[in-house]
Chain A
Amino acid sequence: MTNLATKPSRYCIPALNPGFRMQWEPAQGCHVLLFPEGMVKLNPSAAEILMMCDGKRDIETIIAALADRFPGVDTLSADLMDFVEVANERRWLSFH
């Protein structure tokens, strides 16, 4: 598994990088991503996506699953690709 120097494609299979952990924080009322000496608060959409990055599903499959759950969101696919790109740059995700 590696971080990609270029943009991830729809056929990549994303997973949280080792050393990163996502969990629900009651005190903050949101999911957070924890990593060495840092923490990021996630909005519900980001948490939703990261939960699906399980190292088994490719991005295409994740988009389809989200489209079923959130019908009528035209920009879903583009939004998700944007998010995955940011997550790659920040080393939250790796791909295989």
Chain B
Amino acid sequence: MSDVGCLSTDSKQSAFQSEKGKNAGPPLWLLAELTYRCPLQCPYCSNPVNFAAIKEELTTEEWKRVFAQGREMGAAQLGFSGGEPLLRQDLEELVSEARSLGYYTNLITSGIGLTPSRMAALKEAGLDHIQISFQDSDEERNNALAGSRKAFDAKLKVAQAIKEQGYPMVMNVVLHRHNIDHLQSILNLSFSLGADYLELANSQYYGWALHNRDALMPDREQLQRAELVTNRFREEIGEQMKIYFVVPDYYESRPKACMNGWGAVFLTVAPDGLALPCHNARDLPFSFPNVRDHSLDHIWYQSEGFRLYRGDDWMKEPCRSCSEKDKDFGGCRCQAFLLTGDARNADPVCGKSEHHHIVVNARREADHQDDVRPLVFRNTRNSVSLT
């Protein structure tokens, strides 16, 4: 019994063990992006900019097969995401199937369309937890960012119902230049709604957010104030609500351990069945495998797309000889590709990267920005015209 206190930690980053080399462990986290359709238009959406061209959604039976294969391999966490997963009429059936396979089931939603009766039906089906997004802390600003006049009111009602029905609630707010100064009221709102966890996720620059980067990136002062406000709030409320503050990696000097390593624990399946090591990997110039053509087992262990950057054989300098490569895995492959054109390069967020100036310049741009840049909203019209 002497090892009774020796547990792995419960932080999100380190809860999963990463695997080195090509002899990967199983995927533990399966993200099911059920659809790219969404009633909201958030300009920092992580969905691909060309989502409008991606139409062939997996059927109910195809999703069930994917869930069974993932569970067989060892996946234990299943996220239902999108787009807005509630737009799938078979969501209850999919949750029920996933829960009976033994998954812990997470619904990642805008809340739009989640009536109390549907929420109860999902509970009946075995849904374990709901993560609801807010765009800001008051109606006008929230709705302007969401591109919907009804969003805030609907979200408030949904958040109340989540607690009434006894679900654990994670509230997620993406932070950026336009809402980060309202953090105190965002904290107050989430606390008053009874959120069990609050994720303050600074915008990460992929997909629509990369397109809108200059308009979204906060300056350094905004960020410092936000961290102060968050820490003060943490001290005031103690453990009653757990707050995660995800720092924007552009303001770091070392990259994030993206996905805990390529093909290490996370597996995303996009609405059309494309299997990806992370939900942003669609931007990379490779042909990733599709669950319509291959089993998840084959995809995870055999496919080139998942083996590409597993372990560290692929690394170039400065990553190859870096003493921190086991900690951050060279950062994010997608970010390296999007900013430098080569996914094998070090993530330019890293101060050791020869491309670090790209990130420094973006920060400088944010610091010296006086004008308000227009945001391009995520909707079908913009998707078509940008593609």
Contacts and interface: CB of A to CB of B under 8 A. Distances in A.
B167 A40 contact: no
Contacts of B5: 79, 82-83, 86
B21 interface: no
A39 B7 contact: no
Contacts of A43: 3-4, 6-7
Contact of B12 (A18, A27, A28, A38): A38
B74 interface: yes
Given A19-B128, A91-B242, A27 B74 contact: yes
Most buried by A among B7, B128, B170: B7
Nearest to B71: A27
A37 B4 contact: no
Question: Looking at chain B's contact residues, is the secondary structure mostly helix, strand, loop, or mixed?
Answer: loop
A3 B129 CA distance: 19
Contacts of B168: 18-19, 35-36
Interface in A4-46: 5, 18-19, 21, 23, 25-28, 32, 34-43, 45-46
B4 A39 contact: no
Interface residues of B, number: 37
Contacts of A70: 1
Contacts, number: 101
B246 to A, nearest CB: 13
Nearest to B11: A38
Contacts of B242: 91
A75 B77 CA distance: 35
Closest 6 pairs between A and B when the two form their complex, measured CB to CB: A27-B74, A19-B168, A34-B104, A79-B4, A36-B129, A45-B4
24 contacts: A5-B238, A19-B129, A21-B128, A23-B102, A25-B76, A28-B26, A35-B129, A36-B106, A36-B128, A36-B131, A36-B168, A37-B129, A37-B170, A39-B76, A40-B8, A40-B15, A41-B7, A41-B8, A42-B7, A45-B1, A86-B7, A89-B239, A91-B239, A91-B242
Interface of A: 3, 5, 18-19, 21, 23, 25-28, 32, 34-43, 45-46, 49, 66, 70, 73, 75-76, 79-80, 82-83, 86, 89-91
Given A3-B239, A21-B104, A42-B7, 4 more contacts: A34-B76, A37-B79, A43-B4, A82-B5
